[in-house]
Amino acid sequence: MVIAMTINVRVEEIQRLPTPAEVGRDDSVEKRWGALIGWHRGCIGVDASRSDSHMIHSQQAVKTLLAVDDEPTNLQLIQMAVEESGLAVDFITATNGLEAIERARRDRPSLVLMDLKMPVLDGWTATRRLKSDPMTASIPVIALSAQAMAGDRERALSAGCDGYMSKPLDMSAFLAMLRTHLT
């Protein structure tokens, strides 16, 4: 999805920057110009309704991943896997089901990875609440659980989860699932 956004960029400020040719092969100037030129390649026009020069840029919408787990180590492992995948996502976290509901309502993530056994509010209850709320009902929720008991998958799916993965995660299946929901 492409969204247009207006960025305050004064053309005069850009014109005052020295060119790499004017200052020699100064790396910092080249990097600044490279960043500016790269950004302006996405320019789709100038906002003529403004008296100062504002460029209109287009940018890919970044998806958001909400990871919910009461174990900080699990959240770190998920974040590392996401970073290694190369997916461009905003990574946000919650440490219990109640925080997850609040974050989902506020941030509207593209995907929720939900641990099931947590303090304050467990993942089953949090998922039922998310799926019963019109604001969050369409957000996919994937259960991640260390519980590998018979019936856990069915219990998660009946609570409203859109998928189930057991811990420790099969990394190739996990990354495939992320790509399915976040690209």
What are 46-86's pLDDT values in tens digits? 545 555 445 444 455 689 999 999 999 999 999 999 998 89
49/107 same-domain check? no
Residue 129 has φ and ψ, to the nearest 5°, of: -65, -40
- 3-state DSSP call for residue 83? helix
Q: How far apart are CA 79 and CA 74, in angstroms?
A: 9
Q: What is the pLDDT of residues 93-118, one digit of tens each?
A: 999 999 999 999 999 999 999 999 99
Same domain membership, residue 105 and residue 56: no
Backbone torsions φ then ψ of 18, nearest 5 degrees: -70, 145
**What's the total number of domains in the chain?**
2
Q: What is the rounded distance in angstroms from the CA atom of residue 103 to the CA atom of residue 181?
A: 18
Do 128 and 148 reside in the same domain of the chain? yes
The torsion angles phi and psi of 165, rounded to 5 degrees, stand at -135, 135
Residues 83 and 171 in one domain: yes
What is the mean predicted confidence (pLDDT) over 7-14?
43
Claim to verify: residue 127 and residue 177 sit in the same structural domain:
yes
User: What residues pair up with 67 in beta bridges, in sequence order?
Assistant: 93, 113
Pair 148, 72 in one domain: yes
The structure's pTM equals 0.67
